[in-house]
Structure 1
């Protein structure tokens, strides 16, 4: 602003010089002031250009910083979305695992109940068998009384051997099970049993 005022003053001085045709001293003085003013204008222009370059550099830095910040924010948002997706997946898996664990717990409880029932049934069966199932000796005696067959337990495998004590005569039994069918052997042995009681 001061430089423009000086230029205006210089212009008026030049006009007055031309109009009045004054002395050379005044002209030198005005020319000196004009040179100073031009010098100050050049300095001001240099300062303005330097200041403009600094401002542009600062603006570039701020713009780059803003771009970097936006990029970081965008990346952070993507990371957060990824973490949210992972959390959602983990939550679903956790729900599935909890449901599976609950199901397995129920099945385990059912198995424990079933095991307890089986143990109870085994105890009942053991109690029942001790009371109702006759001993092997008793069964053998019962078979002997009904069939009147005395078995030879020391014969070779595959041979049915013994003595049938019939109503009148004792009759030996010697059957080869490798050559005779089980049905034939069974029918033959039943035919020896006396049906008269």
Structure 2
């Protein structure tokens, strides 16, 4: 039975109560009981409605709190995403810098390898020249020693001639500074050590 039907019944009951109040007191007691039952039912319905409204309000509050929590989580995730994007930008910039440095170092390495190849080629040429020239130079020096009996020191300054002449009876040290004497004077001094008798 709906609330409108109950109030209509209540009005009908009041009308019946007025009509029979003077002639039928037992009907009045029945109406009174019916009225009490109606009031009790109304109070129970009101209590149920209040409870339902409280539950709806609690539900709305819970939904609102969850919505706030979701918004807060969304903001936190957005900040985290911004931070990750910034880190990605920094890493990308660092990677580009490292790529440039790596390219520079690779170019330097290529230049060093090229220089090493050039040095190896030059070393081969020197080895070939040494193989051909040094034996003949050694032969000339040995021949010069046999003729002059002079043994030269090689670790002197370039303008100093230093050595020892091994004569018949004694060894004579030689030290001539070519920067202060003419080549002719130097030659004369050296020829004096040579024995004209073979």
TM over 0.5: yes
Check the 8 A contact 1:164/1:192 in 2, yes or no. no
> Where do residues 57-96 of structure 1 align in structure 2 (5 Å cutoff)?
57-96=58-97
> Where do residues 2-151 of structure 1 align in structure 2 (5 Å cutoff)?
2-15=2-15, 17-18=17-18, 22-23=22-23, 24-133=25-134, 134-142=136-144, 148=148, 150-151=149-150
CA separation of 1:102 and 1:140: change in aligned 2, threshold 3 A: same
Q: Deviations over 1:81-106 (max 9, x none)?
A: 22222222222222222222222222
Between 1 and 2, higher relative CO (CA 8 Å, sep ≥ 6) is seen in: 1
Give the superposition deviation at 1:161: 4.3
Give the superposition deviation at 1:42: 0.5
Q: Distance in 2 between matches of 1:160 and 1:21?
A: 164
Q: Distance in 2 between matches of 1:46 and 1:172?
A: 140
Q: Distance in 1 between matches of 2:163 and 2:132?
A: 32
Name the counterpart of 2:172. 173
Q: Distance in 2 between matches of 1:4 and 1:74?
A: 51
Check the 8 A contact 1:3/1:40 in 2, yes or no. no
Check the 8 A contact 1:162/1:174 in 2, yes or no. yes
SS of 1:135's equivalent? Answer: helix
Name the counterpart of 1:156. none
Give the superposition deviation at 1:38: 0.7
Check the 8 A contact 1:13/1:30 in 2, yes or no. yes
SS of 1:44's equivalent? Answer: helix
* TM-score of the aligned structures, taking structure 1 as reference length: 0.68
Q: Deviations over 1:98-144 (max 9, x none)?
A: 22222222222221111111111111122233334442241353477
Q: Deviations over 1:120-174 (max 9, x none)?
A: 11111222333344422413534776xx4x3378xxxxx9643579xxxx99735
Superposed CA RMSD = 3.8
